[in-house]
Homo-oligomer: A and B are copies of this chain.
Amino acid sequence: MHILIIGAAGMVGRKLTERLAKDGALAGKKITKATLHDVIEPTAPAGAPFAVTTLASDFSAPGEAEKLVAGKPDFIFHLAAIVSGEAEQDFDKGYRINLTGSWNLFEAIRQLNMQSGGAYKPRVVFTSSIAVFGAPFPDKIYDEFATTPLTSYGTQKAVGELLLADYTRKGFFDGVGIRLPTICVRPGKPNKAASGFFSNIIREPLAGQEAVLPVSEDVRHWHASPRSAVGFLIHAAEIDGDKVGPRRNLSMPGLSCTVGEQIEALRRVAGDAVVARIKREPDPAIIKIVSGWARDLDPSRALALGFKAETSFDEIIRVHIEDELGGKIA
């Protein structure tokens, strides 16, 4: 059984690859081959019990999607994207990768499906985002709330969702789109993403470093751990499509909490000395951006379909300490 991961070099892509290498199976079937693709060549996971091919290319370039799916992978994880900030700054690049790229991929699969008389019909898991929603929001964004994005990234993801649902309805493939919460705690270095502080204020103090908090403690946001994100992807690959029904795009579960609640969880898990490493430096630009973001969701459909996330921020911090710090706090 053959798996293709597009966007395999990103943080979630790497963690998904490692999980599949550890499990050796997906949806009850043994994995015999994995193709890992990204714009930079992904690293093959150590000790995978299956053959691994790594490839680097621009998947939105003409003919690239066709090459990627030519081997008829049984499962396709489509994680490739230009992130929100870059898609906003570089309009052409964002649309080319996030919209044309995704559409080319869906089209390449459709062509194989038609050539095979419908026999080739892979499960396609598409990572969407809560950025498909745009303020003003209800207190909790419910499953039937309209997608009125306020960024080009959110627009491109919302279009991808519509295409995924229509290609699935027509039987060209079997798609499931998952709207990821903000992933927290992101491992690695602090980055300049406007959302970076949600992770920075946990990761850096736990590693003995100072971190800057640019917003007030009453800012509320929607989080899930990298481990949960991988769990969503696996569950989206394994779930019965008939149970999902025609509405193929699902808001994933997550945890709604304020920055103040994040800090109190850090205090409970790691103590006052760690919390003292958070420096408050309000940044009007970030305050403005974050004020337009989703604060809370009601992901009833995903919960009913068996998707699971953390239920406390303490748990999100513990996942980070276990998965990234070998269980140790600096």
Enumerate chain A interface residues (CB-CB to B < 8 A).
91, 134, 138, 143-150, 152, 155, 158-159, 162-163, 165-166, 169-170, 246-247
Contacts and interface: CB of A to CB of B under 8 A. Distances in A.
Given A145-B144, A146-B146, A159-B159, A152 B134 contact: no
Contacts of A159: 159, 162-163
Contact of A145 (B146, B165, B170): B146
25 contacts: A134-B246, A134-B247, A143-B146, A144-B145, A145-B146, A146-B146, A146-B147, A147-B147, A147-B162, A148-B165, A148-B246, A149-B162, A149-B165, A149-B166, A150-B169, A150-B246, A152-B166, A155-B162, A155-B163, A155-B165, A155-B166, A158-B162, A159-B159, A159-B162, A162-B162
A152 B146 CA distance: 18
Contacts of A147: 146-147, 162
A145 B247 CA distance: 13
A246 B147 CA distance: 12
A166 B91 CA distance: 10
**This chain's copy number in the assembly:** 2
Given A134-B246, A152-B170, 12 more contacts: A134-B247, A144-B146, A148-B165, A149-B166, A150-B169, A152-B166, A155-B163, A155-B165, A155-B166, A158-B162, A159-B159, A162-B162
Contacts of A91: 170
Contacts of A166: 149, 152, 155
Contacts of A145: 144, 146
Closest 3 CB pairs of A and B: A155-B166, A144-B146, A148-B247
Nearest to A94: B166
Contacts of A165: 148-149, 155
Nearest to A248: B148
A165 B91 CA distance: 14
A188 to B, nearest CB: 30
A247 B145 CA distance: 13
A149 B248 CA distance: 11
A138 B146 CA distance: 13
Nearest to A166: B155
A169 B155 CA distance: 11
A152 B163 CA distance: 9
A300 to B, nearest CB: 13
A247 B158 CA distance: 14
A62 to B, nearest CB: 14
A273 to B, nearest CB: 45
Contacts of A143: 146
A152 B143 CA distance: 21
A63 to B, nearest CB: 18
Nearest to A144: B146
A148 B168 CA distance: 13
Most chain B beta-carbon neighbours within 10 Å: one of A138, A146, A158, A166: A166
Contacts of A149: 162, 165-166
A294 to B, nearest CB: 14
A294 B225 CA distance: 39
